[in-house]
Amino acid sequence: MKVFVVYCHPSENSFTKNMCDAFLRGVTDSGNEYILSDLYKMGFTTDISEEEYLRDANYRDTPEVAEDVRAEQEKINSSDAIAFIYPVFWTEAPAKLVGWFDRVWSYGFAYGEKTMKLLDKAIILCSAGNPVERLRQFGLLDSMKRVMFGDRLFGRVKQTEFVVFDNTSRENELREKNWDANLQKAYEKGKTLFL
C-alpha cells in the first residue's frame, strides 16, 4: 500500500519536520511505501494563475493543466491514502498548502467529472501551539476539521482522521516534555495507517 504525504513547513528545524520523519519511518516499518511532496523544498507555486482560475471558474475540463499540478494529481492517483502534515497557522494550514489545494483540486480532477480516485484514507497530522482543549473551547478544532473534511476531502476519501499535536510552540515547556511521546505517536500513526 502507498500513502502520498503532502508536507508543508518552512523550517527544517521544527517539531513538524521531526513529526513527519517519524510518521514516514512508521509507514516504511509497516512494509508500506510513501511518496513525499515537501512543498517548501519543491518551491511549489501556490498562486493560482488567471488561466487556471478561468479554466476552473468556467468548469472547463481541458487538458491545459500545469505540469507541476499534473505531477501532484498523478501522485494522488497512484496512492491508496493521503496524509497532510503541517503546522497550524491562524486556525488554518499554511498558505502554501492552501494554495496547493487551490491548484491541484482542479475541475475535472477533484470535482466535476472527477478523475481523482477515491482514496481509502486521509490523515491530517498538524502541530499547534495552543492546547487542544483551547482549540475545542473556542470551536477552532471543529473549524479546522470542517474545512479539511467537509470541503477539501469530502467525497474524495473513504475514511478520515485528524490528529493534533498540541503545545508545540518553541517557548512552551510541554514541547520538550512531550517530544518523545509525540514522535512515538506520529510513528504509530504511520505504522498503523493501513490497518
pLDDT for 126 equals: 97
H or E element, residue 122: strand 119-127
**Run of H or E residues at 99:** helix 95-104
CATH of the domain at 165: 3.40.50.360
Can you read off the three cell numbers belonging to residue 93? 494550514
From residue 192, alpha-carbon distances to 30, 81, 127 in Å are 7, 12, 20
- Residue 119 neighbours by CB under 8 Å, 6+ apart: 76, 79, 80, 81, 82, 156, 157, 158
Number of domains in the chain: 1
Q: Which three cell numbers stand for residue 112?
A: 466535476
Domain that holds residue 97: 2-191
Average pLDDT for 9-35: 97
Tell me how many degrees the CA angle 126-109-85 measures, rounded to the nearest 5: 10
Q: What pLDDT is attached to residue 170?
A: 78
Do the beta carbons of residue 47 and residue 99 sit within 8 Å? Answer: yes
Write out pLDDT tens, residues 109-150.
999 999 999 999 999 999 998 889 999 999 999 999 999 999
